[in-house]
Amino acid sequence: MSLKQALQIIHLLGLPKAARTKRRLDEALPYVRGYAVCSCVWALLETGILDQLLEADRLSVKALAEEGGLARHVLDSILTYLDGLRLVRAEGDEVRALPKLRRLMAEPRGFFELTFAYEPIFHRLRDLLQGNATYPDDVARIGKYVGRGSGQLCRTLPYPVLADMLRRHGAHLVLDLGCGDLAFLLYLCEAIPHIRAIGIDIDGPTVEYAREVLAAVPFGDRVEVRQADMFDLAPIARSHPDVDAVTAIDTYHEYLSEGEEVVVGLLKQLRSQFPNALLYVGEFCKQPHDRLRRNPTAFLEHHLYHDLTNQTIADAGRWRAMFDAADLAVLEEKVFDVVGHGYFVLR
């Protein structure tokens, strides 16, 4: 804005009102922009454009639209907007990802993907609020992005912490509950060359996808994937009595809405079926709201996502009480309040 235009606005509104209006618009902009940026990034993610941008030096916008069967005007609008925010550079028919976008799609990418998993919830938030829809009967998360987003985020701290625990406690054969797309077990096999693993998941398509993933990695012969219910592991216990580690990352809290006794019962069962194994638990630890009010970390959003989808998160004290009720001793514990996560080795 030129000085002449600024003076005209001040003359019309008066200096106090003009300054107040600008200040309040500036204050509101990050909230509005966050929604717009996420929506644009998600659209590029789902259409495959995002990864094409990240993999190439520069691309033809025309070719992207034609090959993807996309509306050119809408694609141009998205790219022009992201260009204005210095996430991409769109000039003529060419577009390229700028360093800022590449940084956001490195370690923080999981935050975007996990939030996208809850997009259907926010899309129908008014219906949920007014009682015209309920979760999960009328609306559900996007399961693929729950797994992908969580896996990306867990590589920053949960996977390294648990891998270190497994290494120091001498684990050789790991049984991973709710293995999903094998993100943790692949990380583990890279970190510990001698480790072998069995991943179980109750979802058939997820297991089939995990097997495809294994076929593409050099250490696939060290990992076995099975479709199984973690509440019915007797067959695996019989066929693999040498399991010496049972891992579960952000798994047990999914059952807390059914009552703590469900989780306690599962822990007791695991202790009985795998008597020679240590149990390794990585779980969300609920943060006091007063703490989040003082320091609103990303766990403020995390708690919102879980509350809206009827998922219960326990604090570290409640987890310890459940372990005690299952007659399990805590051999090692690491709780990081800054990320709202706790890690426990149990016998």
List the domains of the chain with CATH numbers. Answer: 3-104 (1.10.10.10), 157-346 (3.40.50.150)
Using CA atoms of 248, 251, 256, 259 in order, give the dihedral in degrees to the nearest 10. Answer: -50
Query: Does the pLDDT value for residue 160 go beyond 90?
Result: yes
- From residue 7, alpha-carbon distances to 1, 3, 11, 12, 262 in Å are 10, 6, 6, 9, 68
pLDDT the model gives residue 3: 83
Rounded to the nearest angstrom, the gap between the alpha carbon of residue 13 and the centroid of all alpha carbons in its chain is: 47
In the numeric block, the tokens 């696939």 are attached to 220
Q: Tell me the mean pLDDT in the region 294-320.
A: 94
Nearest Cα to Cα of residue 235 among 283, 206, 200, 263: 200
State how far the Cα of 335 lies from the Cα of 194, in Å rounded to an integer.
28
Rounded to the nearest angstrom, the gap between the alpha carbon of residue 192 and the centroid of all alpha carbons in its chain is: 24
Query: Does the pLDDT value for residue 144 go beyond 80?
Result: yes
The region, left, alpha or beta by phi > 0 then psi within -120 to 50, assigned to residue 337 is alpha
pLDDT the model gives residue 10: 80
pLDDT the model gives residue 340: 86
State how far the Cα of 336 lies from the Cα of 282, in Å rounded to an integer.
11
Q: Kindly indicate the confidence band of residue 279, based on its pLDDT and cuts at 50, 70 and 90.
A: very high
pLDDT the model gives residue 324: 98
Query: Does the pLDDT value for residue 31 go beyond 80?
Result: yes
pLDDT digits (tens, 9 = 90+) for 190-244: 999 999 999 999 999 889 989 998 999 998 899 999 999 999 999 999 999 999 9
In the numeric block, the tokens 């807390």 are attached to 256
Using CA atoms of 34, 37, 42, 48 in order, give the dihedral in degrees to the nearest 10. Answer: -160
Q: What are phi and psi of 173, to 5 degrees?
A: -125, 115
Q: For residue 136, say if its preceding peptide bond is cis, omega within 30 degrees of 0.
A: yes
pLDDT the model gives residue 226: 96
Q: Kindly indicate the confidence band of residue 321, based on its pLDDT and cuts at 50, 70 and 90.
A: very high
R_g of the chain, CA atoms, integer Å: 24
State how far the Cα of 87 lies from the Cα of 97, in Å rounded to an integer.
6
Number of CB atoms found within 10 A of residue 170's CB: 9
Query: Does the pLDDT value for residue 25 go beyond 80?
Result: yes
CA atoms within 13 A on the CB side of 286: 18
- Average pLDDT of every residue of the chain: 95
Contact between 122 and 39 under an 8 Å Cβ cutoff? The reply is: no
Q: What is the pTM of this model?
A: 0.88
Q: Give the amino acid at 283.
A: E
Q: Tell me the mean pLDDT in the region 10-26.
A: 86
Percent of the chain residues past pLDDT 90, beyond the cut: 84
Query: Does the pLDDT value for residue 308 go beyond 90?
Result: yes
Query: Does the pLDDT value for residue 338 go beyond 80?
Result: no
Q: What is the DSSP letter of 220?
A: G
Percent of the chain residues past pLDDT 70, beyond the cut: 100
pLDDT the model gives residue 262: 97
pLDDT digits (tens, 9 = 90+) for 86-112: 999 999 999 999 999 999 999 789 999
